[in-house]
C-alpha cells in the first residue's frame, strides 16, 4: 500500500479562532488546555498521523489554501460561518458537523439542521429522535449519535484518592443566560442552590456570578436569588478537579433536560471521586450505571435530598465512588473516551 497516496488530509474547524494555527492540538497551552480540555484532540491527531495515515490540522489552513487535486476532509465543531465558503470546492468533502451544545445554548445550530444534513455526510447530535429540537425537513439518515469527548482514560490521582473531603455539596458552573428557555435547567440549578443554602450545605464556584451588571445576569432567577448566591459564592477555581476532590457531593445539572445529552460535568465528578447529584439526560441510566450517581429526580423536595445525603454511611459513599471508578473500564465509557476517533473513522 502506498501510504502517501492513501493519506487522509483532515481539517477540523473549532468553535473559536483562538484554537486556530493548530493550537487545538497543543497540550502545552495552559489556558486552552485547562483541565485537559484539549486531550481528546491531541490523541486524535496523534492516532491519525501515526505511521503516516493522515495529516491533521485546524481548518484555517484549509480556508486559506489554494485548490489542488487532493481531496480534503472538513469537520466542523459547531461553526456555521465557514462551511458555505467550501461548498463550491471540488477538492473538499464536508465529512461531519458536530453539535456539542444543546438548543438552549445554540438554537441556531438546530435550526440549521436541514441545511447541515443536506451538505455534510453526517451530523452528530446528542439524540437522533428530535427530543428537544425539530426534525422538520431534516435528512434523518445523516444524523448520528454524539458522545461528548472525554480527556482521561481513568480517574485522576491524587484527586480521586483524597480523603480530606467536606460532607457538603459543591457546584462548579459559570453564570449564563439561556438563549432558549425550553427545558432549560439554568433556573432550576439556581433555585436548588438557593434551597441548599438555607441549610448551609452548598458552595458555588465559577465565573460571572458576582457580575450583576453583565448581560448573562439579566433574568429573574438570578436577581431573585442574588443575595443568596453571593453568600455561597467562593469565586473561580484554577482546577475543577482539585475543587471537586474536596467535597463528597456535587450538584451536577446539565444546561438542559434532553435525551442523550450527557456532557463532561458528570465525568468530571467521577474523575475526582465526587458523587454527582445529577439532572439532565432523561435517559441517563442508558449511559451510566445508576450506582455511580444520585438521581435528583427521585426526590420530591430539596429537603428530601438533604435527608438522604445525611443518611449515607461512609461505606455507601465509598461504594458509589468505587462504582464510578469501575465504570471507566467499561465499553460505555470508551464511547466517550474514544468518541472523536470513532467519529472520524466512521
3-state secondary structure string, 230-286?
A: HHHECCCCCCHHHHHCCEEEEEEECCECCCCCCCHHHHHHHHHCCEEEEECCCCHHH
C-alpha 167/C-alpha 112 separation (Å) is 45
Q: Are residues 121 and 197 in the same domain?
A: no
Please state the separation of Cα 315 from the chain's center in Å.
30
pLDDT, position 3: 41
Residue located via cell numbers 485548490: 67
| Pair (263, 147) in one structural domain | no
Evaluate if residue 52 carries a pLDDT over 90. Answer: no
pLDDT of residue 216: 94
Q: What is the pLDDT of residue 6?
A: 78
Q: Per-residue pLDDT averaged across 176-182, rounded?
A: 92
Residue 133: pLDDT above 50?
yes
The answer to whether residue 161 sits within a structural domain is: no
In-domain check, residue 64:
yes
41 domain-assigned? yes
Tell me the pLDDT tens digit for each residue of 238-271. Answer: 999 999 999 999 999 999 999 999 999 999 999 9
In a domain, 330, yes or no: no
Domain harbouring 102, CATH code: 3.40.50
Read off the pLDDT of each residue in 278-301 and give the average, rounded to a whole number. 97
- Output the pLDDT for position 5: 56
Half-sphere exposure of 111 (CA within 13 A, CB side): 7
Residues 203 and 247 in one domain: yes
Nearest residue to 239 via CA among 37, 97, 50: 37
CA 61 to each of CA 40, 56, 79, 176, 260: distance values in angstroms, whole numbers, following the listed order: 20, 10, 16, 33, 33
173 shares its domain with 146: no
Q: What mean pLDDT is reported for the chain? A: 96
Q: Cell 443566560 identifies what position? A: 177
Q: CATH number of the domain that 178 lies in?
A: 3.40.50.11660
Helix 302-311 × helix 186-197 angle, to 10°: 60
Beta-carbon contacts of 118 under 8 Å, excluding residues fewer than 6 positions away, are 139
Mean pLDDT for 104-113 is 97
40 pLDDT exceeds 60? yes
User: What's residue 343's pLDDT?
Assistant: 98
Quickly state the pLDDT bin for 76 (edges 50, 70, 90).
Answer: very high
Contact by Cβ (8 Å): 160, 148: no
Q: Are residues 279 and 176 in the same domain?
A: yes
Q: Could you tell me if residue 187 is inside a domain?
A: yes
Question: For the chain, what is the largest distance between any 2 Cα atoms, rounded to a whole number of angstroms?
Answer: 68
pLDDT at 1 over 90: no
Answer yes or no: is pLDDT of 303 > 90: yes
Question: Is residue 158 situated within a structural domain?
Answer: no
Question: Which ranges constitute the DSSP H helices of the chain?
Answer: 39-49, 60-63, 107-111, 113-119, 186-197, 220-224, 226-232, 240-244, 264-272, 302-311, 314-327, 331-337, 339-344
The three-state secondary structure class of 176 is coil
Find the domain containing 101 and state its range. 8-151+335-344
- Structural domain count, the chain: 2
pLDDT tens-digit series, residues 2-24 = 344 579 999 999 999 999 999 99
Q: What's the mean pLDDT in 167-182?
A: 95
Average pLDDT rounded to a whole number, residues 150-161:
98
Q: Which three cell numbers stand for residue 56?
A: 491533521
Quick one: 147 and 256 in the same domain? no
**In the prediction, which pLDDT does 51 show?**
77
Amino acid at each position: 500500500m502506498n501510504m502517501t497516496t492513501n493519506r487522509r488530509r483532515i481539517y477540523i474547524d473549532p468553535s473559536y479562532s483562538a484554537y486556530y494555527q493548530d493550537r487545538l492540538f497543543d497540550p502545552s497551552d495552559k489556558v486552552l488546555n485547562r483541565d485537559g480540555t484539549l486531550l481528546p484532540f491531541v490523541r486524535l491527531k496523534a492516532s491519525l498521523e501515526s505511521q503516516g495515515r493522515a495529516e491533521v490540522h485546524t481548518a484555517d489552513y484549509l480556508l486559506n489554501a489554494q485548490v489542488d487535486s487532493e481531496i480534503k476532509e472538513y469537520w466542523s465543531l459547531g461553526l456555521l460561518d465557514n462551511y458555505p465558503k467550501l461548498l463550491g470546492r471540488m477538492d473538499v468533502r464536508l465529512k461531519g458537523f458536530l453539535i456539542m451544545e444543546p438548543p438552549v445554548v445554540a438554537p441556531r445550530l438546530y435550526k440549521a439542521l436541514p441545511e447541515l444534513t443536506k451538505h455534510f455526510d453526517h451530523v452528530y447530535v446528542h439524540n437522533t429522535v428530535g427530543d428537544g429540537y425539530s426534525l422538520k425537513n431534516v435528512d434523518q439518515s445523516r444524523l448520528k449519535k454524539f458522545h461528548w469527548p472525554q480527556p482521561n482514560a481513568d480517574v485522576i490521582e491524587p484527586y480521586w484518592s483524597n480523603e480530606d473531603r467536606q460532607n457538603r455539596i459543591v457546584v462548579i458552573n459559570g453564570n449564563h443566560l439561556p438563549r432558549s428557555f425550553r427545558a432549560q435547567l439554568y433556573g432550576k440549578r439556581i433555585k436548588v442552590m438557593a434551597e441548599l443554602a438555607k441549610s448551609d450545605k452548598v458552595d458555588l464556584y465559577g465565573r460571572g456570578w458576582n457580575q450583576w451588571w453583565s448581560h448573562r445576569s439579566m433574568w429573574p432567577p438570578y436577581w431573585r436569588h442574588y443575595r443568596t448566591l453571593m453568600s455561597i459564592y467562593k469565586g473561580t477555581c484554577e482546577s475543577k478537579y482539585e475543587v471537586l476532590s474536596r467535597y463528597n457531593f456535587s450538584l451536577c445539572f446539565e444546561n438542559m433536560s434532553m435525551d442523550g445529552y450527557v456532557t463532561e460535568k458528570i465525568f468530571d465528578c467521577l474523575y475526582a471521586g465526587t458523587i454527582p447529584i445529577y439532572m439532565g439526560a432523561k435517559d441517563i441510566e442508558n449511559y451510566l450505571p445508576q450506582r455511580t450517581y444520585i438521581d435528583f429526580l427521585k426526590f420530591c423536595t430539596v429537603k428530601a435530598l438533604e435527608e438522604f445525603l445525611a443518611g449515607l454511611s461512609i461505606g455507601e459513599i465509598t461504594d458509589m465512588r468505587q462504582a464510578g471508578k469501575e465504570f471507566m473500564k467499561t465499553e460505555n465509557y470508551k464511547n466517550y473516551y474514544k468518541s472523536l476517533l470513532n467519529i472520524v473513522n466512521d
